[in-house]
A and B are shown apart, each in its own frame.
Chain A
Amino acid sequence: MDWAWISLIVIFIGAAVAPKLVHAFPKLGSGLLCLIPWFGFAGFLSLIPEISEGGVPTASFDWVPSLGVSLSFRVDGLSLMMALLILGIGGFIVPYAKGYLDGHPQLNRFMGYLLFFMGSMLGVVIADNLILLFIFWEMTSISSYLLIGFKHESDESRRNALQALLVTGIGGLALLAGLILIGLESGNWTLTEVLADSKKGLGGLPSFELIAVLLFLGAFTKSAQFPFHFWLPNAMAAPTPVSAYLHSATMVKAGVYLLARFSPPMAGEPLWHDTLTWIGAITMLVGAGLGLLQKDLKKILAYTTLSVLGILTFFIGLGSKKMMLAAILFLIGHALYKATLFMVAGSIDHSTGTRNVNQLRGLRKIMPWSAGAGLLAAFSMAGLPPFFGFLGKEYSYKGLLDIGSGMIIFLIIAMIANIVLMGLAFTAGLHPFWGNKSEASYPKEHAHEVSIWMLAGPIVLSVCGFLFGLLPHLIQEPIIGPAVASLIGKPYDHLELSLWHGFNLPLLLSGITISAGIFLYVIRKPIWSTIFSKEINWFGPEKIYFLVMDGILSLAKAVTLLLQGGKLRNYMFLTVGSIIGFVAIELFLTQEFMGSLTFENVSVHEASLVLVMAIAAVVSVVSKTRITTIIALGVVGFGVALLFAFFSAPDLAITQVLVETLVVVLFMFVIYRLPPFRNISPNAVKVVDALFCLGVGAVVTSLVLSAQEIQMQPSISDSFAQSSYMEAHGKNVVNVILVDFRALDTFGEITVIGIAALGVIALIQRIYTKKEEVEQ
Chain B
Amino acid sequence: MKSVILKSAASFLFIPLLVLSLLVLWRGHNLPGGGFIGGLLAASSFVLMTLAEGVNATRIKLRAEPVSLIGTGLLIAIFAALLPLFAGDTFFTGLWLPSFELPVLGKIHLGTPLIFDIGVYVTVIGFAMAVVFQLEELE
Cβ of B72 to closest chain A Cβ, rounded Å = 10
B-binding segment of A287-295, A344-352, A658-666:
A658-666
Residue pairs across A and B with Cβ atoms less than 8 A apart, 16 shown, are A651-B34, A669-B132, A669-B136, A669-B138, A729-B111, A732-B29, A732-B32, A734-B34, A740-B94, A740-B116, A743-B113, A750-B74, A750-B124, A754-B71, A760-B131, A761-B134
A-binding segment of B8-16, B43-51, B56-64:
B43-51
Q: State whether A665 touches B132 (Cβ < 8 A).
A: yes
Q: State whether B127 touches A659 (Cβ < 8 A).
A: no
A669-B138, A740-B113 are contacts. A761–B34 as well, Cβ < 8 Å? no
A728 within 8 A of B: yes
Q: Is the interface of A mostly helix, strand, loop or mixed?
A: helix
Q: A659-B40, A732-B28, A740-B113 are in contact. List 18 more A-B contacts (CB 8 A).
A: A654-B33, A654-B37, A665-B44, A729-B29, A730-B29, A732-B31, A732-B33, A732-B34, A734-B32, A738-B120, A739-B116, A740-B116, A743-B113, A743-B116, A754-B127, A756-B127, A757-B131, A760-B134
Q: State whether A670 touches B135 (Cβ < 8 A).
A: yes
Cβ of B59 to closest chain A Cβ, rounded Å = 15
Q: State whether A754 touches B123 (Cβ < 8 A).
A: yes
**Per-position binary interface string of chain A over residues 688-732, scored 1 when its CB falls under 8 Å from any chain B CB and 0 otherwise:** 000000000000000000000000000000000000000011111
A736 within 8 A of B: yes
A359 within 8 A of B: no
A568 within 8 A of B: no
A744 within 8 A of B: yes
Q: State whether B94 touches A661 (Cβ < 8 A).
A: no
**Per-position binary interface string of chain B over residues 106-139, scored 1 when its CB falls under 8 Å from any chain A CB and 0 otherwise:** 0001010110110110011011101110111010
Q: Is the interface of B mostly helix, strand, loop or mixed?
A: helix
Q: Bin the interface of chain A by size.
A: 35 or more
A739 CA / B77 CA spacing, docked (Å): 10
Cβ of A400 to closest chain B Cβ, rounded Å = 60
A622 CA / B31 CA spacing, docked (Å): 41
Give every chain A residue within 8 A of B28 (Cβ-Cβ).
732, 735, 739
A747 within 8 A of B: yes
Q: State whether A738 touches B34 (Cβ < 8 A).
A: yes
A756 CA / B74 CA spacing, docked (Å): 14
Q: State whether B81 touches A658 (Cβ < 8 A).
A: no
Cβ of A14 to closest chain B Cβ, rounded Å = 30
Give every chain A residue within 8 A of B127 (Cβ-Cβ).
753-754, 756-757
Count the A-B residue pairs with Cβ separation under 8 angstroms: how many?
A: 136
Q: State whether A738 touches B36 (Cβ < 8 A).
A: yes
Q: Which of A661, A670, A744, A761 contacts B92 (CB 8 A)?
A: A744
A655 within 8 A of B: yes
The list of the 4 closest CB pairs from A to B, nearest first, reads A658-B40, A650-B32, A730-B29, A757-B130
Residue of B nearest to A752 (CB): B127
Residue of B nearest to A742 (CB): B92
A732 CA / B136 CA spacing, docked (Å): 36
Cβ of A686 to closest chain B Cβ, rounded Å = 29
A757 CA / B31 CA spacing, docked (Å): 29
Cβ of B9 to closest chain A Cβ, rounded Å = 15
A669-B132, A731-B29 are contacts. A758–B67 as well, Cβ < 8 Å? yes
Give every chain A residue within 8 A of B71 (Cβ-Cβ).
754
Q: State whether B37 touches A651 (Cβ < 8 A).
A: yes
A753-B124, A757-B131 are contacts. A732–B40 as well, Cβ < 8 Å? no
